[in-house]
Copies of this chain bind each other. A is one copy, B any other.
Amino acid sequence: MKQFISAHDVKDINAIVEKALLYKADPFKDKTIGVNKRIGCLFLNPSMRTRLSTQIAAQNLGMEAIVFNVGSEGWSLEFEEGAIMNGSTVEHVKDAAPIMGNYFDILAIRTFPTLKSREEDYSEQYIQQFIKYAGIPIVSLESATLHPLQSLTDVITIKETFRETRRPKIVLTWAPHVKPLPQCVANSFAQWINAWGEAEFVITHPNGYELAEQFTNGANIVHDQNEALKEADYIYVKNWSAYQDYGQVLSTDPSWMLTNDKLKLTNNAKVMHCLPVRRNVELSDEILDGPNSIITREASNRVWAAQAVLNEILRSN
């Protein structure tokens, strides 16, 4: 694997899921593969699970992980081609990235969308410029429109917990939130479930919250949440801001919060969320503290997803 930016970078999703589950069973089985290799983890935005799980995954493979908080530990980067840099940005990605490429063997980057310009965010200019200029494999720790390490984890968690031979019904449902959030996790989940192709996949959200078709194509989109949840095996709960009316909060309708009453409509569905979750806004306490939540397992699987990805990249170089 040359990079890990989206589902399209993975040839065989089932194979990488299998690899991740082998690491879960035996975390240190490839402990020397990364010796004398180094991953740089650049955070342009906050991170907890992604930050920690990536460091742990690298260490499990014998790699050194070096974390750098762009902005607080260093300075603001410029991404505009031809910019006359007399403002607040201090260094151009064209100058910074090639040096990272010489310092590290793999470069992992987190960068959020602005939620102001859809065109700019969906061009993925930040991570694309790192890819263009760094000259080494780039791993997305969440970019403007996608969060592939999360989505790989989600597929791992579904495959790990689904014990039947039939295809599971998976429902991605929008949930209320107090702030405008990126579409990344929802986009990425849709992209991966579609690419995986082994589920019945339904997306439900209020009118106006349609996601970009490049990611949802293949899913069944239903605007009645109750209808969508029927017979679901997995419910993936997530807020996102509008894609059409870009970055806007169009609804905070509390009836979209997932509760035990709604669970009754499902096939005793397992409930997933990428975290952090706003309790009693997106999901009720009763669900998060109840038997259907597999959220801790899901977040814990982040380590094995990252470890499988880093292994694939190390083996290709």
Q: Which residues of A contact B (CB under 8 A)?
A: 27-28, 36, 38, 40, 43, 46-49, 51-53, 55-56, 59, 64, 66, 68-69, 72-75, 78, 82-87, 90-92, 94-96, 98-100, 102-103, 178, 275-281, 285, 288-289, 295-296, 299-300, 303
The answer to whether A99 touches B55, judged by C-beta atoms less than 8 angstroms apart, is: no
Q: Which of B43, B82, B103, B296 contacts A99 (CB 8 A)?
A: B296
Q: Which of B82, B87, B95, B281 contacts A295 (CB 8 A)?
A: B95
The answer to whether B277 touches A82, judged by C-beta atoms less than 8 angstroms apart, is: no
The answer to whether B47 touches A73, judged by C-beta atoms less than 8 angstroms apart, is: yes
The answer to whether B51 touches A68, judged by C-beta atoms less than 8 angstroms apart, is: yes
Q: How far is the CB of A150 from chain B (nearest CB, A)?
A: 13
The answer to whether B85 touches A279, judged by C-beta atoms less than 8 angstroms apart, is: yes
In the bound complex, residues from chain B placing their C-beta under 8 Å from that of A295 are 95
CB-CB nearest in chain B for A100: B52
CB-CB nearest in chain B for A92: B279
CB-CB nearest in chain B for A28: B36
CB-CB nearest in chain B for A299: B99
CA gap between A97 and B289 in the complex, in Å: 13
Interface core residue of A85, A87, A178, A285 (most chain B CB under 10 Å)? A85
CA gap between A69 and B68 in the complex, in Å: 12
Query: Apart from A48-B91, A96-B276, what are 19 other A-B pairs with CB-CB below 8 Å?
Result: A40-B52, A47-B74, A48-B68, A48-B74, A52-B103, A75-B276, A82-B280, A84-B279, A84-B280, A85-B279, A86-B178, A91-B275, A91-B277, A92-B277, A95-B276, A102-B296, A102-B300, A103-B300, A103-B303
In the bound complex, residues from chain B placing their C-beta under 8 Å from that of A90 are 276, 278
CA gap between A195 and B49 in the complex, in Å: 39
Q: Which of B51, B85, B299 contacts A73 (CB 8 A)?
A: B51
Q: How far is the CB of A155 from chain B (nearest CB, A)?
A: 19
Interface core residue of A47, A48, A64 (most chain B CB under 10 Å)? A48
Q: How far is the CB of A90 from chain B (nearest CB, A)?
A: 5
The answer to whether A73 touches B300, judged by C-beta atoms less than 8 angstroms apart, is: no
In the bound complex, residues from chain B placing their C-beta under 8 Å from that of A100 are 52
CA gap between A64 and B56 in the complex, in Å: 9
The answer to whether B276 touches A91, judged by C-beta atoms less than 8 angstroms apart, is: yes
CA gap between A66 and B64 in the complex, in Å: 12
In the bound complex, residues from chain B placing their C-beta under 8 Å from that of A74 are 46-48, 51
CA gap between A164 and B39 in the complex, in Å: 38
Nearest 6 CB-CB pairings of A with B: A91-B276, A102-B300, A48-B74, A85-B278, A84-B280, A99-B299
Interface core residue of A64, A66, A73, A99 (most chain B CB under 10 Å)? A99
In the bound complex, residues from chain B placing their C-beta under 8 Å from that of A103 are 52-53, 56, 300, 303
The answer to whether A288 touches B64, judged by C-beta atoms less than 8 angstroms apart, is: no
The answer to whether B48 touches A75, judged by C-beta atoms less than 8 angstroms apart, is: yes
